[in-house]
Amino acid sequence: MMKTFKTTFNIGISQKALSKGFVVPLKINFKSTPHIILVAPSGAGKTYALKYILRQLAEADSLIYLCDFKAIDFSAMSDCPNYFKHSDVNKGLEVVFELMQKRINGDVGCEQPCYLVFDEWAGFLASTPKKSQEEYKQRLASILMLGRGLGIYVILTLQRADSSNFSSGARDNFGVALGLGRLSKESARMLFPDETDVIEAKPRGKGYLRVDGKPLTEISIPTIKDMSKTDLIIRRALLSSDEGGH
Ligand SMILES: Nc1ncnc2c1ncn2[C@@H]1O[C@H](COP(=O)(O)OP(=O)(O)O)[C@@H](O)[C@H]1O
Ligand SMILES: [Mg+2]
């Protein structure tokens, strides 16, 4: 029997409920609202939030490719085939782009959801020459546009949501926007264009969530109690070189 994969995950917990003493998870389904853009200044909890999500993706037997430009927080994964660091992160982008071609051509099945997780996208772009920047932005735009129907999803973090980091129109393909900590006016405007006025500075690990078709919600990223176990679970998923040929 064909395995059905889970694509609904907790992205955090409701801050409103939390302030009343309840823990209510905020769920997203990649199939209905594909791709997450996560923006927060340095130290406001991007990588931490990624680990919270990555663990769930890993536990659901997802195919994960992790691109870690800074290469500080995922040292436990450094020898994994699906982990790319420093200037090698473009290879992760390339591998997912090629997998997408294979899925389009019907060479491999689309059953196993695939996640391209990119920590510090803008930092990576800034480190590469202009010409390659355009090429990488174009690659990303294709995955954002075509990935959805092929079970390929993107999770991207940046310190600021500047439009120069995307090909024109590519940003509109993110079904989920998450902003944490103290967002610049510019970031707030890009992530939450209809609600910019209500956005306030938040502490680390807290902020706002916009899921397409739903009202803006205040969100809190919960504490990860067992970080070393979380790292191990993520590591195990990144060791898998299965390319979705189920
Ligand atoms: N939701 C959270 N709960 C507890 N600690 C957090 C949370 N978010 C971030 N931290 C801690 O704050 C520090 C900075 O977080 P990090 O995710 O590395 O920020 P960024 O990736 O945005 O620079 C880390 O030491 C991390 O463990
Ligand atoms: Mg980080």
Number of domains observed in the structure of the chain: 1
Instruction: Please report whether residue 1 resides in a domain.
Output: no
Indicate if the pLDDT at residue 246 is higher than 60. no
Q: Cα separation of 25 and 20, whole Å? A: 14
pLDDT of residue 29: 98
The larger pLDDT score, comparing residue 86 to residue 2, is at 86
- Tell me which residue has its CA closest to atom 25 in ligand 1: 43
Q: Cα separation of 137 and 145, whole Å? A: 12
What's 195's domain CATH number? 3.40.50.300
Whole-prediction pTM value? Answer: 0.97
pLDDT of residue 2: 79
- Tell me which residue has its CA closest to atom 7 in ligand 1: 205
Least distant ligand from the CA of 40:
1
Instruction: Please report whether residue 3 resides in a domain.
Output: no
CA 11 to chain centre: 10
pLDDT of residue 242: 60
pLDDT of residue 240: 84
Q: Which structural domain range is residue 214 located in? A: 8-238
Counted residue by residue, the chain has a size of 246
Q: Cα separation of 70 and 124, whole Å? A: 9
Yes or no: say if 90 and 225 are a contact pair by the CB < 8 Å rule. Answer: no
Instruction: Tell me the per-residue pLDDT of 87-137, one tens digit each, with 9 for 90 and over.
Output: 999 999 999 999 999 999 999 999 999 999 999 999 999 999 999 999 999
pLDDT of residue 245: 43
Interval between CA 108 and ligand 2 midpoint (Å) = 33
Instruction: Tell me the per-residue pLDDT of 11-35, one tens digit each, with 9 for 90 and over.
Output: 999 999 999 999 999 999 999 999 9
Indicate if the pLDDT at residue 223 is higher than 60. yes
Instruction: Please report whether residue 33 resides in a domain.
Output: yes
Interval between CA 102 and ligand 1 midpoint (Å) = 36
Pocket test for ligand 1, best of 47, 48, 182, 225 (most atoms within 8 A of CB): 48
Instruction: Please report whether residue 22 resides in a domain.
Output: yes
pLDDT above 70 coverage of the chain, percent: 98
Read off the pLDDT band of 244 (50, 70, 90).
very low
Report which ligand 1 atom has the smallest distance to the Cα of 221: 1
Interval between CA 102 and ligand 2 midpoint (Å) = 31
Q: Cα separation of 163 and 121, whole Å? A: 12
Please give the average per-residue pLDDT across 43-67, as a whole number.
Answer: 98
Instruction: Please report whether residue 164 resides in a domain.
Output: yes
User: What tokens appear for 48 in the block?
Assistant: 């931490």
Q: Cα separation of 222 and 45, whole Å? A: 11
The per-residue pLDDT of the chain, averaged, comes to 96
Indicate if the pLDDT at residue 5 is higher than 90. yes
Return the beta strands (E) in the chain as ranges. 8-14, 25-29, 36-39, 63-68, 83-85, 114-119, 152-158, 176-180, 206-211, 217-220
pLDDT of residue 212: 97
